[in-house]
């Protein structure tokens, strides 16, 4: 099994191998696109031939299909859920006076951003994705220089970051925070300690006053932890794509059935025999067949590895989100891409590629794989942000319409349930739910 994090680490000095490039490409594609790719290769590579077809009816289970919240796009126009952010960045890019080549590169990076506006790909992976665009003279250093330029000049602040820590440091830099140098040291060396409010130890280890450490926490809490959060998600209609897996309930257990390409392929026995019979190993025929046989073998192997990777990722997601599938959104557990990456031992960018614009058929309908991920809200029950929104919605639905709950009232109700969030966060979730303020909800 190819592991991109290790492959990239081993190949920093060189370009990615053909096998690694193909793996990166195939995990981006959905099943419809995989079928198209196989069809194209069957035409172009004589050493590949189609085997028996899968029985599609046996692989599919009829389920109710719900509306999705994303567009399905081909591999050359992949976007995350943050479509508005991408369009916003693209408009800014058109205003910058930089070379056409730089615009092409930054445009490609924009389309690699995750739903937070973060970059998960390594510079080598970005460089590899640009090869077909015929941009000469590029290396990992020049990619890094463009990323740093984008971090300084694009709005919202913090976009193009590689991590939450970097996102916060960029915002401190852009705001000319007078304590930024000290804050940088705290973020770099004691970020988790700061989250635990371990002010005394941080102060002692860094030799700074506790007041400065506390000020750091206050200032950071006023920054954006998610640059794309200011952009609402837009519901749009989409074209249907095959789900990557079917999940169905049996005796209160979830059974996972991986969906596969409708085409099965194999290396041609005829051409394998032909190359063995070829006496002149330097002939054009021999070299041609050798190259095509190798390409066919790698392709089949990589398709199998893609299936194995998808199966491992989907199983890991379903293990965490069983209650969400069976009981509804309130039971969505906090889950990050990095959590699944650790479970299946791959880079986070690999999980981002696998879950982008892919779907799973479940008893609740066909769900976007991104919907299984949610940020954690600080609480005794470790509720996800979506679960908390559902709780707020229920409280408002059951309220006395003549004396509706204010955001402060809702906060008190949630506090009693062990969910501790700020009043401004409640207002934000209420706006996402398109629920008016208590004053506007009051019935006279």
pLDDT at 136: 57
Query: Residue 189: inside a domain, yes or no?
Result: yes
Query: Residue 420: inside a domain, yes or no?
Result: yes
Residue range 77-91: average pLDDT?
A: 58
Domain that holds residue 186: 164-223
Residue 225 predicted with pLDDT over 60:
yes
Residue that the structure tokens 């999705």 belong to: 68
In whole angstroms, give the CA distance from residue 201 to residue 224.
26
Query: Residue 340: inside a domain, yes or no?
Result: no
Beta strands at 359-362 and 245-250: parallel, antiparallel or unpaired: parallel
Number of separate domains in the chain:
2
pLDDT at 83: 46
Calculate the dihedral angle through the C-alpha atoms of 145, 147, 153, 158, rounding to the nearest 10 degrees.
-140
Least confidently predicted of 42-56, 287-301, 419-433: 42-56
Higher-scoring residue by pLDDT: 381, 113: 113
Query: Residue 169: inside a domain, yes or no?
Result: yes
Single residue among 190, 223, 256 that ends a domain in this structure: 223
What is the band of 148 on the pLDDT scale with cuts at 50, 70, 90?
Answer: very high
Q: Please say whether the beta carbons of 198 and 50 come within 8 A.
A: no
Residue range 136-150: average pLDDT?
A: 84
Query: Residue 184: inside a domain, yes or no?
Result: yes
Residue 132 predicted with pLDDT over 60:
no
pLDDT at 394: 86
pTM greater than the 0.85 cutoff: no
Top mean-pLDDT range of 14-23, 302-311, 376-385: 302-311
Query: Residue 196: inside a domain, yes or no?
Result: yes
**3: cis peptide before it, omega within 30°?**
no
Query: Residue 325: inside a domain, yes or no?
Result: no
Single residue among 223, 249, 266 that ends a domain in this structure: 223
Least confidently predicted of 147-151, 351-355, 420-424: 420-424
Query: Residue 24: inside a domain, yes or no?
Result: no
Single residue among 172, 195, 223 that ends a domain in this structure: 223
pLDDT, tens only, 172-195: 988 888 888 999 999 999 888 888
Least confidently predicted of 91-100, 335-344, 349-358, 422-431: 91-100
Higher-scoring residue by pLDDT: 376, 213: 213
Higher-scoring residue by pLDDT: 75, 262: 262
419: CATH: 1.10.10.60
pLDDT at 280: 74
Kindly report the average pLDDT of the chain as a whole number: 79
Residue 317 predicted with pLDDT over 90:
yes
Q: Please say whether the beta carbons of 416 and 381 come within 8 A.
A: no
DSSP string for residues in 61-89: ---PPPPPSS----GGG---S-HHHHHHH
pLDDT at 340: 94
């Amino acid at each position: 099994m190819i592991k991109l994090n290790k492959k990239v680490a081993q190949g920093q000095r060189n370009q990615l191998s053909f096998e690694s490039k193909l793996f990166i490409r195939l995990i981006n594609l959905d099943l419809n696109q995989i079928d198209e790719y196989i069809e194209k290769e069957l035409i172009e590579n004589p050493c590949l031939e189609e085997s028996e077809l899968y029985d599609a009816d046996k692989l599919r289970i009829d389920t109710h299909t719900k509306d999705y919240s994303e567009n399905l796009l081909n591999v050359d126009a992949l976007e995350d859920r943050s479509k508005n952010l991408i369009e916003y960045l693209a408009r800014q890019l058109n205003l910058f006076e930089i070379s056409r080549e730089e615009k092409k590169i930054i445009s490609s990076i924009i389309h690699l951003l995750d739903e937070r506006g973060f970059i998960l790909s390594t510079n080598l992976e970005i460089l590899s994705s640009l090869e077909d665009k015929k941009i000469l003279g590029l290396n990992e250093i020049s990619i890094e220089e463009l990323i740093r330029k984008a971090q300084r000049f694009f709005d919202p602040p913090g976009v193009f970051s590689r991590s939450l820590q970097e996102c916060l440091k960029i915002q401190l830099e852009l705001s000319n925070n007078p304590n930024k140098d000290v804050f940088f040291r705290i973020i770099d060396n004691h970020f988790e300690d700061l989250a635990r409010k371990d002010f005394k130890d941080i102060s002692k280890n860094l030799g700074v006053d506790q007041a400065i450490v506390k000020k750091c926490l206050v200032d950071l809490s006023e920054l954006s932890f998610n640059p794309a959060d200011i952009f609402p998600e837009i519901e749009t209609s989409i074209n249907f794509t095959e789900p990557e897996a079917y999940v169905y309930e049996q005796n209160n257990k979830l059974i996972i059935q991986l969906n596969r390409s409708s085409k099965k392929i194999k290396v041609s026995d005829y051409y394998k025999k032909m190359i063995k019979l070829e006496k002149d190993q330097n002939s054009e025929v021999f070299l041609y067949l050798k190259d095509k046989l190798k390409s066919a073998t790698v392709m089949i192997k990589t398709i199998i590895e893609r299936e194995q990777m998808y199966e491992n990722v989907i199983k890991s997601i379903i293990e965490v989100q069983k209650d969400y599938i069976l009981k509804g959104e309130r039971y969505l557990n906090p889950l990050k891409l990095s959590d699944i990456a650790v479970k299946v031992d791959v880079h986070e960018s690999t999980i981002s590629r696998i879950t982008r614009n892919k779907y799973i058929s479940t008893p609740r309908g066909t769900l976007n794989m991104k919907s299984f991920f949610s940020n954690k809200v600080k609480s005794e029950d470790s509720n996800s942000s979506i679960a908390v929104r559902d709780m707020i919605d229920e409280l408002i639905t059951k309220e006395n319409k003549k004396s509706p709950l204010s955001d402060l009232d809702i906060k008190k109700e949630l506090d009693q349930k062990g969910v501790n969030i700020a009043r401004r966060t409640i207002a934000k979730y209420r706006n996402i739910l398109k629920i008016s303020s208590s004053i506007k909800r009051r019935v006279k």
